[in-house]
Structure formats: C-alpha cells, structure tokens
Structure 1
Amino acid sequence: MKVLESGEDYLETILMLQQRGGTVRSVDVAAKMKVSKASVSVAMKNLRAGGYVKMGNNHEIVLTPQGRQLAETMYERHQLFSDILAGLGVDGEVALRDACRIEHALSAESFKALKGYFLKNGVDPPEKEKWTGDAQKT
C-alpha cells in the first residue's frame, strides 16, 4: 500500500513524539499537527490497514518496523532540507515548511545523490549529525 503525503506526515509526527516522550496517543498527534482527533482517527485506521502502525495498550500508537522505517526516512529528509535551507539563510519557519514539501516530492535516488553531494562538499549545517547517521538515536 502506497502511503500518501499526509500519511507520511503522520508517521513522521508519531516518530518525533515517541523520541520526545515515549507514549503517543491520538490526542498528542492531533495537538502536534493541529488537526482534529477525528482526522487522526481516520489516518490511524488507514495506516493500521497498511501495516504502518498498531494500537498498543491504552490506545497508544506504535509504529511497526515498516512504519518506523518510512518515518525515519521522512524525518531524515526533513532534517537535511531544513538544515540546508536554514544554513543558506532562509528563515527557520520557512525552511521547515519548505523542507516538508521537498521531502515528499524527491525520489530516493535524488535524495541519496543530494545527501552525498552535501556531505562530499563540506556542507556543515549545525544539525548535520541528524542526517549523517552520527547522532545517537533516542
């Protein structure tokens, strides 16, 4: 099942919330994404059907290995592009917003080539360890 852009955003949000506080519930996702709990419910139903999330104890949202892999891919892309744009002097909020658009549009091949280019040519934004794999995962 192909995940739509909005589904990728939900997975990425779940990952970020898990890294910050562990347990994630629909209300946490709704607050972070500024969407209704009903929207989260529909998204979780679709992501469960695709095998990307499951519901744990007390309605906790848990990423499956497949969901975690996709979430980490999207998060890595988001970090790379927001760091590069911010490093070029783009306002932080604009860089985050534009990175979110770019992360979904780029093929895996193009992302790999761009990431390699930036690493090879000494681009060193402050958060580089996030997208080189050098950071400790929480």
Structure 2
Amino acid sequence: MSNVLNESAENYLETILILSQKLPVVRSVDIANELGFKKSSVSVAMKNLREKEHIKVDEQGFIHLTPSGLEIANMIYERHTLLSSWLIHLGVPADVAAADACKMEHVISTESFEAIKRHVYENKEV
C-alpha cells in the first residue's frame, strides 16, 4: 500500500499520527511547525492526502487520519521506532540513528523489515 505514496506523504501521515498523540487536535499549522515547513506547502500536501482519502479535514480545519491513512502512519512509525532503537542498540548515536531510521523506513521492503523485526525481538535487542 505505501509504495503508491512518496516519502513526503508518508512523513506527513506519520507526523499527523505523532501529533494526534500529543495534541487534542491537529491542524495544518501544527504540522508546519513540527516539520519546519511553510503552511502553504503543508496545505498542498493535505489537499493531496485528502484526495487520496488518507485524511479528512473537518469544518474547523482539524485533520484526522482515515483508516488507510492510519494504517500507513502506523506502519511508518513502527519502522521508525524499531529501526532507530535497533541502531542505538548497535552503538549508533541517537541523533544519527533517528536520521538514518527516517531514511530507511521508506525504502525497506516489508520482507526485510519483518525479518529484522523477528531478529530483534527473538534476540531481545531493543
């Protein structure tokens, strides 16, 4: 499913998920502040995600993940957290691990990620 979205769209969905866990509501301005982007850039991205039915925007401008958006966001977030934790466990500095995990989470195949996940949990490495 995620291979039809680009890395940027996946990052937006992941950011909406993370913000929704921290804030009572998520707005475009919150996403722009979190990512350091212009509000106009975020508005274009939200339009695209809305057209792909990964988000809904209510009349107050609050952004909500749809079931498909939530599925993608959860997948990317799981990849990010596991990969960054694993890299830190391997001795990579936390900031480097987080940056590398952010790149890896978008390009790794499902098969490779599942194999890493099995290995990590079987060996209790995170």
Scaled by the length of structure 1, the TM-score of the pair is 0.86
Q: Which runs of 4+ in 1 moved over 2 A?
A: none
Structure 1 segments unaligned to the other structure (5+ residues): 126-138
Aligned match of 2:24:
22
Aligned match of 1:112:
114
Give the deviation of 1:58 after TM superposition.
1.0
CA distance in 1, matches of 2:21, 2:105: 20
Matching of residue 42 in structure 1 with residue 50 in structure 2: no
CA distance in 2, matches of 1:59, 1:122: 43
Structure 2 segments unaligned to the other structure (5+ residues): none
CA distance in 1, matches of 2:95, 2:33: 18
CA distance in 1, matches of 2:24, 2:84: 24
CA distance in 1, matches of 2:47, 2:124: 43
CA distance in 2, matches of 1:22, 1:8: 22
- Superposed counterparts of 1:120-131, under 5 Å: 120-123=122-125, 125=126
Which string of whole-angstrom CA distances, capped at 9 and with x for unpartnered residues, describes residues 60-116 of structure 1? 011001000100000000000110111122111111110000000111111111101
Q: Residue 67 of structure 1 aligns to which amino acid in structure 2?
A: G
Aligned match of 2:73:
71
Give the deviation of 1:22 after TM superposition.
2.6
Aligned match of 1:90:
92
Aligned match of 1:12:
14
| Percent of aligned pairs with the same amino acid | 48
State the Cα RMSD in Å.
Answer: 1.1
Which string of whole-angstrom CA distances, capped at 9 and with x for unpartnered residues, describes residues 5-57 of structure 1? 00000000000000111300000000101111011001001101111001023
